[in-house]
């Protein structure tokens, strides 16, 4: 199938200044997309914008935001609603894993604040600013299969950061739980907003700067694993496919990997838990 043109289509992307986000933006730019880049670091955003323009895209807007802060996210949403045209593709790609228990300005554990509540808040508050037939793409992870369920009784995540939990990969399980939550929220978004096409996907293990912010040991482990990793371009392929492909134009709320529909874990398919999670996120972002 030939390249799907995106002339006059507006893409809003978080996490688009490096890694698979930047690779996807360049690929979508080659199809003529216009962009709104959400970034914490404006200098990095300007550098990414130059690469996107070189690929053929147009960066119409750069929105500065600290996504772990709900106040900053709300300002972002207000700016987008005023400055940006209706959004054709919303890409919730920003994410991170934190090796220690840290709190956001809102008193929420940082992995959950960034990976779950920021995309939830952005998506739900911008539903009225989405173009007809808009697509919303969430970057998930196969790590979601490593946790049995969202732990609603200990949603603060502190159980993942005890001394014992750290020795057994607690931070990675917290990351997996956050990605499980994203898959569930994507499916629930499709149920609550049937006019929106919602997708979550697994990019594979990609050679990016991910997990290099958690000390020397983690940096060394990521460096050793890098030769076995996929490239950012490879990791971005499914994201680009979901943003453009006619094959998924009538689908919503599903999970994908390597340009194919896949089955997420049984926990990710629990509709009652997804509805409960939606209400929890609504409460956590109601301030």
Give me the active site residues, please: 175
DSSP-H helix ranges across 30-69: 42-54
Separation between Cα atoms, residue 40 and residue 37, nearest integer Å: 10
Separation between Cα atoms, residue 125 and residue 77, nearest integer Å: 7
First CA to last CA across the chain, in angstroms? 46
Separation between Cα atoms, residue 212 and residue 269, nearest integer Å: 31
**3-state helix, strand and coil shares in percent for the chain, rounded to the nearest 5:** 50, 20, 30
Contact 183, 264 (CB under 8 A): yes
Indicate the SS3 state at residue 36: strand
């Amino acid at each position: 199938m030939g390249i799907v043109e995106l002339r006059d289509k507006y893409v809003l992307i978080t996490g688009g200044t490096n890694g698979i986000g930047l690779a996807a933006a360049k690929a979508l730019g080659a199809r003529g997309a216009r962009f709104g880049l959400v970034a914490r670091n404006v200098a990095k955003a300007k550098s990414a914008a130059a690469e996107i323009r070189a690929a053929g895209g147009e960066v119409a807007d750069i929105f500065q935001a600290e996504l772990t802060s709900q106040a900053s996210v709300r300002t972002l949403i207000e700016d987008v609603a005023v400055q940006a045209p209706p959004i054709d593709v919303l890409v919730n790609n920003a994410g991170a894993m934190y090796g220690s228990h840290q709190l956001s300005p809102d008193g929420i554990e940082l992995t959950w604040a960034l990976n779950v509540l920021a995309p939830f808040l952005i998506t739900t508050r911008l539903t009225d600013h989405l173009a007809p037939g808009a697509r919303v793409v969430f970057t998930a992870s196969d790590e979601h299969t490593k946790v049995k369920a969202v732990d609603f009784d200990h949603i603060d995540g502190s159980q993942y950061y005890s001394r014992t939990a750290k020795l057994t990969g607690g931070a990675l399980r917290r990351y997996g739980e956050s990605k499980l939550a994203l898959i569930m929220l994507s499916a629930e978004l499709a149920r609550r907003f049937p006019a929106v096409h919602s997708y979550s996907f697994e990019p594979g293990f990609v050679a990016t700067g991910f997990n290099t912010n958690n000390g020397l040991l983690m940096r060394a482990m990521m460096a050793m694993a890098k030769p076995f990793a996929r490239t950012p371009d490879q990791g971005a392929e499914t994201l680009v496919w979901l943003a453009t492909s006619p094959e998924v134009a009538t689908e919503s709320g599903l999970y994908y990997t390597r340009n194919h529909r896949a089955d997420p874990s049984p926990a990710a398919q629990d509709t009652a838990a997804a509805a409960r999670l939606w209400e929890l996120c609504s409460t956590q972002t109601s301030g």
